[in-house]
Amino acid sequence: MQSKTVKQLLTEDIVTPDVEVKGWVRTFRANRFIALNDGSTLNNIQCVVDFEHFDEATLKRITTGAAIHVKGELVESQGKGQNVEIQAQELIILGDSDPEKYPIQPKKHSFEFLRENAHLRTRTNTFSAVMRLRSALSFAIHKYFNDNGFYYMHSPIITGSDAEGAGEMFQVTSLDLKNPPKDDSGNIDYSEDFFGKETNLTVSGQLEAETYAMSLGKVYTFGPTFRAENSNTSRHLAEFWMIEPEVAFMDLAGNMDLAEDFMKSVIQYILDNNREDLEFLDKRLKDEDKTKPQAERSSMGLIEKLNFVTDNHFKRVSYTEAIDILRNSKPNKKKKFKYLIDDWGCDLQSEHERFLVEKHFKCPVILFDYPANIKAFYMRLNDDGKTVRAMDILFPGIGEIVGGAQREERLEVLKQKMAILDIPEEELWWYLDLRKYGTAVHSGFGLGFERLVMFATGMSNIRDVIPFPRTPQNAEF
């Protein structure tokens, strides 16, 4: 007979009463009730053991973390909390788990402790729910773009260009660091490196995605990106995944429409498909909040926050308008903001973004037309000469989640901006080519995947939403 997954047993109509299942023991109560989990769902299947019928040696090996194979009869459950359970007829121990040593005991572990055991932490309810949601969000993203005529494009990870300036880069090399080749002036001779030049890990696939948008029309990337920034915070990773759609013939208004529809669609997907995991995490967050002082508690529950995104129109507000609102806001006047809003031109902080979303507009907000000098060189300059066609989407609890722009499509304007920033044209000859041969209005945006997973799971540390986080002084596993 073929084994069923726990999910199948709990949700499908099983015709025959005889079933088999394999999984890991979560708990074994009263020498009688095994809670068995195989990762297919948050829920365990209860296996009821008639202990008189099993030898004691076997029963002793049914410990938390042990892998077992259960054969028995699927019956309606007598107890509360489940519809069906298995009356165990045969128990086969596949792999023991020494209860003295197994780190994942059925008790509350700190997230710090579980990070040190990242290879086992998905055996807990919280992390299995988070990682199932991470997977579901990934699929929702691919599905959205596929359904809407986008092509998935793998932008390169190793790059010979460091022109984008989005952050500090990691170097990639095959040179012997102890004894690297040097030229006559004592500089490293990169002609002897693997690629014949200095190479780094990419910080963004956008510029390459633009090349594909300007031929295939609608494309997106979804791949790893890197920052060598020594930021040891709960919001920074050295390695993280990013989604970057890019569309030819689309202006900033179209970009906002796309981003709003996209964000609503992927969040609706998990509301439709991952209800149990979301409800578990919603409750976890509420329980955690109860232990906090009132001021630090979340203003919304997890599912409430997701519905806030799917149910509301995203309010579109210019940067200039937003500065006016913030300047005249209560927290600014009462000096409650950590960074007070004074003049037009400053960059917004998370506290300002959250004020706009949570207090002022009470809906997701898209800010647009930012000052040119706080945004990247490739964003399209407006006719006012001082703002660019940038946009940021602001969400409750988190602030900026999406950043995008209409791209500068005019060759001469782009060249001028590069010259001011000392970006050599030879570095980006291929990027300039897009403006020489059939240039057109085009736009796109970037979404940090882990920020989306944090938002969708209510986890507050970014290290807890990626399988094996890479941070300063840490590349374990």
By CB under 8 A, the residues from 17 to 36 that bind a second copy are 22-25
Residue 4 bridge partners (DSSP): 21
DSSP helix/strand/coil, 365: strand
> Do 259 and 367 meet the contact criterion of CB atoms below 8 Å apart?
no
> Do 290 and 282 meet the contact criterion of CB atoms below 8 Å apart?
no
- Tell whether residue 196 is a contact of a second copy (CB under 8 A): yes
Q: Which of positions 288-317 make contact with a second copy (CB under 8 A)?
A: none
| Position among 33, 51, 195, 361 found at the interface with a second copy (CB under 8 A) | 195
Closest CA to 330 of 340, 345, 321: 340
Taking the least distance from each CB to a second copy, the nearer of 14 and 441 is 441
- Tell whether residue 155 is a contact of a second copy (CB under 8 A): yes
Least spacing, CB of residue 270 vs a second copy, in Å: 13
- Tell whether residue 472 is a contact of a second copy (CB under 8 A): yes
CB within 8 Å of 383: residues ≥ 6 apart: none
Least spacing, CB of residue 177 vs a second copy, in Å: 5
| Position among 11, 163, 223, 371 found at the interface with a second copy (CB under 8 A) | 223
| Position among 51, 54, 111, 152 found at the interface with a second copy (CB under 8 A) | 152
Q: Which of positions 398-427 make contact with a second copy (CB under 8 A)?
A: 409
Q: Which of positions 156-175 make contact with a second copy (CB under 8 A)?
A: 156-161, 168, 170-175
DSSP helix/strand/coil, 156: coil
Q: How many residues bind a second copy (CB under 8 A)?
A: 108
CA–CA separation, 46 and 87 (whole Å): 9
Count Cβ atoms within 10 A of the Cβ of residue 30 and give its class: 0-12 exposed, 13-18 middle, 19 or more buried: exposed
Q: Cβ of 11: how many Cβ atoms within 10 Å?
A: 14
User: Which region among 142-150, 291-299, 321-329, 380-388 touches a second copy (by CB under 8 A)?
Assistant: 142-150
Taking the least distance from each CB to a second copy, the nearer of 187 and 291 is 187
> Do 173 and 194 meet the contact criterion of CB atoms below 8 Å apart?
yes
Q: What phi and psi, each to the nearest 5 degrees, are found at residue 391?
A: -145, 145
Least spacing, CB of residue 72 vs a second copy, in Å: 17
| Position among 7, 32, 236, 327 found at the interface with a second copy (CB under 8 A) | 7
As a whole number of Å, the CA-based R_g of the chain is: 27
Q: What angle do CA 424, 168, 242 make, to 5 degrees?
A: 100
Least spacing, CB of residue 137 vs a second copy, in Å: 9
CA–CA separation, 282 and 299 (whole Å): 13
* DSSP state at residue 232: -
Q: Which of positions 38-57 make contact with a second copy (CB under 8 A)?
A: 38-40
| Position among 201, 256, 278, 356 found at the interface with a second copy (CB under 8 A) | 201
Q: Which of positions 436-455 make contact with a second copy (CB under 8 A)?
A: 436-441
Least spacing, CB of residue 296 vs a second copy, in Å: 30
Taking the least distance from each CB to a second copy, the nearer of 236 and 286 is 236
CA–CA separation, 56 and 68 (whole Å): 16
- Tell whether residue 208 is a contact of a second copy (CB under 8 A): yes
Q: Which of positions 58-117 make contact with a second copy (CB under 8 A)?
A: 65-67, 69, 94-98, 101-104
Print burial letters for 270-303: b (CB count within 10 Å at least 16), e (below 16): beeebeebbebbbebbeeeeeeeeeeeebeebbb
Taking the least distance from each CB to a second copy, the nearer of 25 and 357 is 25
Q: Which of positions 227-266 make contact with a second copy (CB under 8 A)?
A: 228, 230, 238-239, 241, 248-249
CA–CA separation, 323 and 374 (whole Å): 14
> Do 210 and 246 meet the contact criterion of CB atoms below 8 Å apart?
yes
